[in-house]
Amino acid sequence: MAFDTSAVVKNSNGNPVAEATREGTSFTPRVDIFETDADLFLFADMPGALPHEIDLRYEQGELVLHGKVPPQPRDGRVVFGEYEVGDFYRVFQVHESIDASKIEADFKNGVLKVRLPKQASALPKKVPIKIQA
C-alpha cells in the first residue's frame, strides 16, 4: 500500500484521534482508502464542509487535508448530536510510486474523493511464461 497509517493514534473505539494542534473545536474526518492496480482512492467524509474551505495539497511525500466545517444554524435545542464542526486536519504519508503530477480531487455530497494514480513503473506487469518442449 502507498499510505503509511502505522503512526495514527486511535481512541478506544478504534477511530483515529486528532492531534491537539490548535485551540478551539477540531475533529478528524473519517477516511476510507481503496487501492486498485492503477490508483489509490481516498474518500473523506466531510458533511457541511464548503469546497472553498477545504485545502488539499501534496508536498514532500505527504497528502495534507485541512479546513473547517462551520456550525449550521438550527432551530430548537439539541437532543442528540454527532455532527462534527470546527477545524479538521489529516496528513497521509504517500509512497513514491504515486504520480503526484496527476493527483485529482472532487467534492460532491459532502464527500471528498481524491484519486492518486500510480506511476507507470509501479503498475503490475504480466510476465510471459515460455513453454519448453
pLDDT in tens, 37-85: 899 999 999 888 888 989 999 988 899 998 888 888 888 888 887 777 8
Q: Which of 34, 43, 44 is nearest to 1 (CA)?
A: 34
Residues 109 and 92: their CA atoms lie apart, in Å, by: 23
List, in order of start, the domains of the chain with CATH numbers.
3-71+82-121 (2.60.40.790)
End-to-end CA distance of the chain: 39
Check residue 61 and give its pLDDT: 87
With bands split at pLDDT 50, 70 and 90, how would you rate the model's confidence at 1? very low
pLDDT digits (tens, 9 = 90+) for 78-132: 888 777 788 888 999 988 888 989 999 999 999 999 999 998 877 777 888 889 8
Q: Over the chain, what is the mean pLDDT?
A: 81
Give 88's strand partners: 27, 67
> Would you state the pLDDT for residue 83?
78
Total-model pTM: 0.71
